[in-house]
Amino acid sequence: MRFPETVPSLHPSPRACLAGVAPYRPGKPIGEVQRELGLRRVVKLASNENPQGASPRALKVLRRDCREAYRYPEGASPLLRCALAAEHRLRPEWVAVGSGSDGLIRLLCEAFLEPAEEVIVSEYGFIRFSQNARLMGASVVSVPMRNWTHDLEAMAERVTSHTKLLFIASPNNPTGTYNTQQQLEGLLAKVSSRVAVVLDEAYCHYAVRYPRYHRSLPDLVLRFPNLVVLRTFSKAYGLAGLRVGYAVAQPHIVRHLDQVRLPFNVGVLSQRAALEALKDRAFVRKGVEGVEKGKRFLFEGLRALGSEVLESAANFLFVRVPCPARKIFEALLRKGIIVRPMAEYGLEYHLRISVGLPFENRALLKAMRDVLGKAKKTDHRH
């Protein structure tokens, strides 16, 4: 078969700002690794999912209601919105529900960014902030970190009359570091209310046990009209595959998110499962405790193997390995373990490793021991 020749000038040209945007590369899926390497058992520690699985209460609702898949959902997710508002002692107009918190990052960019306006992010802040901003043609200002943590003072200083959004993730992905209440309030007091400050708390359930971790809801959104807090059902609630997240902010901001969202942006089953998962506090508590134990185990084990590991307030670890991370990633893959190399952040010697179940964490350490041992031997030979 002959394929038509590509004549670029005769093709529809994409928006100019797409030139600087690479498609997002998610953690390698289990199925892909099984197919490529012919492996049966694969452990995935690459996307910070909940290793316990989904909340059983949510699963029950999914089984009960699966026949409703033929119906359109209620577009504004009203029941979930009300439940979330009650959870945070606010009114439903203060909550927007979206397709994961990633969906809300996109909506914020669509609602607020004109081309060439500025967005402030942190050097190794969650990469989806800058990617979404660039899609709108915005200009991204990246502020160096301090000890692998968002430097909120320096970020506040970079605000200009062109700045529209400022993104913070706390705990941050991939570093696992967090900001304190004092740092956060300092930034909010300094930054003009014309700039929307987006605080992504995807991993807050794991971080609340750390004494200096900030408390944003509801107090800070009541006090600061430009603060937007993002949360997700993908982590502690175990529903990453259903794509549900939400934003909490004053109604004047939520109204604009509603203007740009797709009419049915969260599926009928996703809304119902999230509503149930929200009530399943025992599941969240158990998961957080499991992560805390697994994190200690991995932290100590990886350090004993000669890697530098950062203290993390989330459900993953940020690890500097003694040889190129790509090599370690590939060697682990051949042993059926998927982790995440950090090359997209320009970090060639770092991996991000999600905390798994005890057997998965043991398998990771065992495989790391083999792989790092082999890497050392090869180094000596050269």
DSSP states of 350-369 as a string?
Answer: EEEEE---HHHHHHHHHHHH
Q: Which is nearer to ligand PLP, 242 or 371 (CB)?
A: 242
Whether the ω angle into residue 324 lies within 30 degrees of 0, i.e. cis, is: no
Tell me if 48 contacts ligand PLP by CB under 6 A: yes
Per CB under 6 A, does 100 bind ligand PLP? yes
Which residues in the chain belong to E strands, given as ranges?
A: 43-44, 95-98, 118-122, 139-143, 163-169, 196-200, 227-232, 245-248, 308-309, 316-320, 337-338, 340-341, 350-354
Q: Looking at beta carbons only, is 170 or 372 nearer to ligand PLP?
A: 170
From 313, 304, 298, select the one nearest 351 (Cα to Cα): 298
Bridge partners (DSSP) of residue 199 are 168, 229
By CB under 6 A, is residue 170 in contact with ligand PLP? no
126 near ligand PLP (CB under 6 A): yes
User: Does 318 participate in binding ligand PLP (rule CB under 6 A)?
Assistant: no
Residue with tokens 């945007």: 21
Tell which one of 135, 240, 305, 375 touches ligand PLP (CB under 6 A). Answer: 240
Site string for ligand PLP, 201-220 (x = CB under 6 A): -x------------------
Which of residues 169 and 229 has its CB atom nearest to ligand PLP in the complex? 169
Provide, rounded to whole angstroms, the least separation between the CB of residue 104 and ligand PLP: 8
Three-state secondary structure call for residue 87: helix
Part in contact with ligand PLP (CB under 6 A); list of ranges 97-105, 159-167, 317-325, 353-361: 97-105
Q: Shortest Cβ distance from residue 32 to ligand PLP (Å)?
A: 18
CA distance 136 to 17: 7
Both tokens of 33, joined, read 């690794």
From 94-102, 248-256, 338-346, 361-369, span contacting ligand PLP (CB under 6 A): 94-102
Taking residues 244 to 263 in sequence order and writing x for each that binds ligand PLP by CB under 6 A, - otherwise, the string is -x------------------
CA trace torsion 368, 369, 375, 379 (10° rounding): 140
**Interface with ligand PLP (CB under 6 A):** 48, 100-102, 126, 169, 173, 200, 202, 232, 234, 240, 245
